[in-house]
Structure 1
Amino acid sequence: MADRLTRYAEQLRQLLPRGLAWNSEQDSTLNDLVEGLAETFARVDHRSDELIRNALPQYTTELLPEWEQVAGLPEECRSLSETQEQRRSALVEKLAEVGDQSRTFYIQLAARLGHAITITEFSQPKAGMATAGERCYGADWHFVWQVNTPHALTISRATAGRSAAGEPLASWQTNQLECLFRRLNQAHKQVLFQYG
C-alpha cells in the first residue's frame, strides 16, 4: 500500500502546473493536498484489486458467503462450520462438479476428500464367464456397488497463508464421504460402504 501511495503522489506531482505559485515542497499545503489525494487513490486502487481477487471463488474471502449462496452451500453434505480454506475448497469443488458415474470419478472425489477407496461392483454370474469359487449374486445385485475404505474419518489440517486467524489447527469429519456418494449416486443403484 505504501508503494502505491508513493507512486500516486509522484504521478499527481507530475500533473501539477509549473511555476512559483505551485510550491509542492515537503512542508507545503499543496503537498498535503497531493498526499491526501494520493492516499485516497491508493486505497481505491487497493480495494479494486481486492474486489477482483474476491471475484474468483478459489481466492475469495470477503465474498465467500455470497459465493456459497450462488453455489447452494451449505448443503447436507457440507456444513459452514468448516474453516475458511475448507469452505473455499468446497465451493470450488461444487462449482466445478460435473456429474459422472464412472468408478474413476468416485475414486478421485474420495481422494479429494482424503480417502483412498476401491469400488466393488457385483454382477450375476453368466455361463462361461464365471470361474470356480466365485461368489454368486442374484439379478438385483447388478444394481449394487460397494465403496471400500480403510477409515471413515477425514482429517483437515490448517495451512500457512490459506487458513484464517482463529481457525482450529485440525478438524475431523466422519460422514461427508457417504453423504456425497449417496447424493451423487444413480437413482437405480444402491451404494454400500465397507470400512476397515
Structure 2
Amino acid sequence: MEISSGITASLAGRYASALYELANEQGLVAAVEGDLERLADALRESADFAALIRNPQVAREDAARAIAAVGQVLGVSPLTANFLGVIAGNRRLSALPDVARAYAAIAAAARNEVTAHVTSAHPLDDGQIAALSEKLAARAGKSIKLKTAVDPEILGGLVVKIGSQMIDSSIRTRLNSLAQAMKG
C-alpha cells in the first residue's frame, strides 16, 4: 500500500507507518487505532502522564515500566503494548501524540476516509448525524468519520471542517457578516 510521503517523512510518521504495517499484517488496524486514541485521550486528561512522556530525566526502564502500566490500565492490545515498550526503550515517548495522529491519518487514508469535525449549537441526534454524514460523503467523494462538538456560542447552524476546508453556516458568522456590511 502506498502511504502519503508527507505523513511518513517525520519520525512519528515512520513509527506510525511501521506500526500500521504490523497491525495490518495481524488484522489489528482498528484495535491499534482504538488503543492509540485511548492513549491520546489519557495524555490530554492527565498532566502527570503528559509530563512523564516528555521528561528526559526519567530513566528508560522507569519510563518503560510506567508506560506498560498505563497500557495495562487502558487494556491495549499486545501489539500496542510491545510498540510502547519499543518507543520507551528508544526514548521516543514524547512522540506518542504525533504517532497517534499519524497512525490515524494512515489508517483513514487506507480506508479512503476523511474526518469531518462538526460543531453545532445543540447536540445532533442520530438521524441528523446520518444525514449530514451522507451529504458530506457525497461532497468529499470519500467515506466520512464525524467528530461532533457542541458550542452554544455559534447560536445555530453548523461549522464543518474537513481537512483544511471549512464550511461555516453558523448564525454567529452570518450575524457578524451582516454587522460588517451595515458598518459600510
TM range (shorter): under 0.3
Q: State which structure, 1 or 2, has the greater radius of gyration over its C-alpha atoms.
A: 1
TM-score (structure 1 length as normaliser): 0.26
**Where is the helix percentage greater, Structure 1 or Structure 2?**
2
Q: Which has the higher contact order (CA 8 A, sep 6+)?
A: 2
